[in-house]
Structure 1
Amino acid sequence: MSFIEKDHTADILMHIRAPDITGLFADAGQALMKTMYRGTAKPVQEVSVTVTGRTLEELLHAFLSELLYESEVQNVVFSTFEFQIEDGKVSAILRGEPFDAKIHGGGTEVKGISWYGLSIRKEQNEYTCDVLFDV
C-alpha cells in the first residue's frame, strides 16, 4: 500500500503510487477507506461493482465514487479489492465487513471524489496520481 496525505487547505489530498494500474486503483481504494474509517476490516462480505469510462481517470473516479456509495449504502468497511480492468470498463470485487463504531469509528466523512487535479501519470517504473476527497 503506497499512499500519503498531502497538505490541502480544505479537503483531503492523497498522493498514490503503485507499480501497475490495478495496484493504483487498489491503493486509491485503500486511501479512501483509511480516510473514512479507523481500524482494520476483515474481508468477510463481498460486493461486485462495474463502472465504465473513456479514460483511466474517468475509470478511477467512477470506481472511487462507487466504492464510496457502496460503503455508505451497505454500511461496509472494505479492505481488499480485486480488479479486472479492460478498455473502458472496471469490474471489481470489494471485500470487507459491516461497520462497527467501536472498531471503525473516528474517520472523516467523505462527501465525494473531486475531479480537480485528477491525472494518472506513468513515471519511470510506477503509476502515480493525486486524488482529492471532498470532506
Structure 2
Amino acid sequence: MPYEEREHTADILMHVWASDIPTLFEECGHALMGVMYRGSARPDCPYSFTVTGTDHEQLLQAFLSELLCLTETENVVFSEITVTLDDGSLTACLAGEPFDRKIHGGGTEVKGISFSGLSISRQNDEYVLDILFDV
C-alpha cells in the first residue's frame, strides 16, 4: 500500500508515493476509496471518464473530484483504477461493484478534494505528495 494517513487537525491527510505520475494518481484514487469504504470490491462494473487541466496538480484534483462524484452518484466502490495521461488530459478506466453496507460500510464520508498544500514532488526515485480529503 503506497500511501499512509498523516496527522491533521480537521480533515484526512494522505501521503502518497509511486514510481511514476500515472501510478501516483492511481494510488491517490485507491487512498480515497480506502478512506471512504471498508472491505474489498469485485471489478464487475466498468466506468471511464476524462478530465482536463493545465498541470499535474489540477489534473489530480479534477480526477479525484470526478472519482468522488462518480462513486457517490453511481453508488459504486472502485477496486481497479487505471490512469492514462496525455498532454493536459487524464483518462481514468475504473471497475468496481455496487456499494453493500455489510461489505463496504464503516468508512469516512469525504466531501471534497482540497487544493490546499497539493504539490507533487520528486524525492529520490519516487513521486510523492500529500493530499487533503475534506471530511
On whether the aligned pair clears a TM of 0.5, the verdict is yes
Partner Cα separation in structure 1 for residue 122 and residue 116 of structure 2:
19
Query: TM-score under structure 2 normalisation?
Result: 0.98
Partner Cα separation in structure 1 for residue 104 and residue 39 of structure 2:
5
Aligned structure 1 segments of 4 or more residues deviating by more than 2 angstroms: none
AA aligned opposite 2:79: S
Deviation at 1:83, TM superposition (A): 1.7
AA aligned opposite 1:58: Q
AA aligned opposite 1:4: E
Deviation at 1:53, TM superposition (A): 0.1
Partner Cα separation in structure 2 for residue 10 and residue 118 of structure 1:
16
TM-superposition CA deviations, 1:91-132 (whole Å, max 9, x none): 011110000000000000000000100000011211000000
1:77 corresponding residue in structure 2: 77
Q: Superposition pairs for residues 1-135 of structure 1, below 5 Å? A: 1-135=1-135
Task: Name stretches of at least 5 consecutive residues in structure 1 with no aligned partner.
Answer: none
Aligned residue for 2:35, secondary structure, equals: helix
Partner Cα separation in structure 2 for residue 109 and residue 60 of structure 1:
19
Partner Cα separation in structure 2 for residue 7 and residue 98 of structure 1:
31
Query: TM-score under structure 1 normalisation?
Result: 0.98
AA aligned opposite 1:69: C
TM-superposition CA deviations, 1:18-41 (whole Å, max 9, x none): 001111001000000000000001
Partner Cα separation in structure 2 for residue 129 and residue 80 of structure 1:
21
Partner Cα separation in structure 2 for residue 105 and residue 118 of structure 1:
28
